[in-house]
């Protein structure tokens, strides 16, 4: 799957692109069928909210779940990112972010590359997130919020917030966010399961808490050009991966094929 010239221009100008209906409901069903099993695991990779129960994020699920292993090498995710970073990519980070109904906490205002540069010594922002909606994202259940064109500001000064939520993050102060929002406005892309979001690693973003009765689950692939791999290894390997080999895309029907395999095994 390749981005059009119009989508490439939009990404360059705004810092993000939204692509609806990229994955079918059958493919989403394969993935969502695995999410409760993963979220029930008591392992280091499954990070919970301060209540100790609601899952905030499940890191590295592609290393211990077959459906998400296949998603991590899916051509519909890899191809547009390789197009944008101009070359082969490796998996810097993989996470399933749960925003549990009533209990999903905020993600503070931040830039992803700011964290990757400070914590992992990633040389340049030749990396980005591509996010797949596994459940419908609405204005009520904690949608991702962007400040358009904020990626043009480069890496912005940030403080290391270890107190607000259960997960430490390099966050921007209120004055900076206010100034950027006055310049660029704010958007909160919403859409059905199967929709994709691509956004620049310097784009300022956040998400509010979810006090609605509807869960919101999104899976993120943080893909980095293989020449731009990290140089510092202070974070756990399941947070910042060490395998810098180029990802080889799987066939486009790999998730549907897994559904067929599972159905055959169940007979």
pLDDT digits (tens, 9 = 90+) for 31-74: 999 999 999 999 999 999 888 888 999 999 999 999 999 999 99
Say what the pLDDT of residue 169 is.
Answer: 77
| Contact partners, residue 175, CB within 8 Å, separation at least 6 | none
Instruction: Give the end-to-end CA distance of the chain in Å, rounded to a whole number.
Output: 34
Q: 3-state DSSP: the chain helix, strand, coil percent, rounded to 5?
A: 30, 25, 45
Phi, then psi, of 59 in degrees rounded to 5:
-80, 150
Say what the pLDDT of residue 201 is.
Answer: 96
Burial pattern 237-266, b for ≥16 Cβ within 10 A else e, equals ebbbbeebeebeebeeebbeebbeeeeeee
Say what the pLDDT of residue 118 is.
Answer: 92
Architecture category of domain 5-266 in CATH: Sandwich (2.60)
Say what the pLDDT of residue 267 is.
Answer: 64
Say what the pLDDT of residue 265 is.
Answer: 80
Say what the pLDDT of residue 222 is.
Answer: 98
Say what the pLDDT of residue 104 is.
Answer: 87
Say what the pLDDT of residue 159 is.
Answer: 80
Say what the pLDDT of residue 163 is.
Answer: 62
Q: In the block, which residue shows the tokens 């503070």? A: 108
Say what the pLDDT of residue 266 is.
Answer: 74
Q: Which residues of the chain fall below pLDDT 50? A: none
Domain spans of the chain, in order of start? 5-266
Count of CA atoms in the C-beta half-sphere (13 A) of 10: 12
């Amino acid at each position: 799957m390749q981005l059009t010239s119009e989508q490439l221009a939009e990404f360059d100008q705004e810092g993000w692109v939204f692509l609806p209906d990229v994955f079918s409901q059958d493919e989403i069903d394969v993935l969502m069928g695995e999410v409760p099993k993963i979220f029930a695991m008591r392992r280091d990779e499954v990070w919970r909210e301060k209540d100790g129960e609601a899952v905030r994020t499940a890191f590295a699920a592609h290393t211990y779940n077959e459906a998400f292993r296949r998603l991590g090498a899916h051509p519909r995710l890899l191809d547009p990112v390789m197009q944008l970073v101009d070359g082969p990519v490796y998996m810097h980070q993989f996470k399933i972010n749960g925003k549990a109904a009533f209990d999903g906490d905020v993600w503070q205002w931040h830039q992803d590359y700011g964290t990757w540069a400070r914590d992992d010594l990633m040389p340049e922002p030749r990396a980005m997130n591509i996010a797949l909606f596994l459940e419908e994202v609405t204005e009520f259940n904690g949608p991702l919020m962007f400040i358009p064109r904020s990626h043009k500001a480069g890496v912005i000064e940030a403080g290391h917030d270890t107190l607000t939520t259960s997960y430490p993050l390099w966050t921007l102060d209120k004055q900076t966010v206010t100034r950027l929002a006055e310049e660029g406005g704010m958007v909160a892309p919403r859409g059905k399961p199967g929709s994709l979001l691509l956004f620049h690693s310097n784009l300022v973003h956040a998400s509010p808490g979810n006090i609605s009765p509807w869960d919101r689950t999104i899976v993120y692939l943080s893909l980095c050009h293989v020449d731009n791999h990290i140089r510092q290894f202070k974070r756990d390997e399941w947070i910042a991966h060490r395998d810098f080999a180029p990802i080889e895309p799987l066939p486009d029907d790999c998730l549907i094929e897994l559904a067929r395999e599972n159905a055959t095994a169940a007979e």
